[in-house]
Structure formats: C-alpha cells, structure tokens
C-alpha cells in the first residue's frame, strides 16, 4: 500500500487500531472530544478520515502518570 494512502484512517480502521467501537469514535467526533478529522464531501454521505499524525498527537496529549 502507498504510504500516503495509509496515512489516513476511516472510522472503522481507527476503532480497530484503538480497540474501541465505531460508535465510540463517532461519539467523540460529534462531541468534539476525539482527534482532528477531515470531512471529504458534503452532507450525510461525506467521508470522514483521520490523519495518523493527528491521532498520535491527540493520544500523546492524553498520556497520564508515569515518567515522561
């Protein structure tokens, strides 16, 4: 797979990567609690994609405890 393509994940891929449900990922998006996302297109058929860099940054901001 081309690296530039694999840079983007859809909701299913993100949910699988984090071990969470797709509904959880969608809830985070609806409540602006999740990682930044791209909305490609308009209306209810728009494609939602997440950049790996945005996901990793979002995860790093949530690290708690332990040594830095």
Domain boundaries along the sequence of the chain: 3-56
**Would you state the pLDDT for residue 3?**
52
**Would you state the pLDDT for residue 1?**
43
Rounded-to-integer distance, Cα 48 and Cα 26, Å: 10
**Would you state the pLDDT for residue 65?**
86
pTM above 0.85? no
What are the pLDDT tens digits along the chain (68 aa)?
445 558 999 999 999 999 999 999 999 999 999 999 999 999 888 999 999 999 999 999 999 987 76
Contact indicator for 6, 51 with CB cutoff of 8 Å: no
């Amino acid at each position: 797979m081309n690296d530039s393509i694999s840079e983007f994940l859809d909701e299913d891929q993100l949910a699988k990567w984090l071990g969470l449900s797709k509904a959880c990922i969608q809830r985070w998006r609806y409540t602006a609690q999740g990682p930044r996302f791209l909305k490609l297109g308009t209306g209810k058929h728009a494609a939602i994609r997440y950049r790996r860099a945005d996901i990793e940054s979002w995860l790093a901001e949530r690290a708690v405890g332990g040594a830095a």
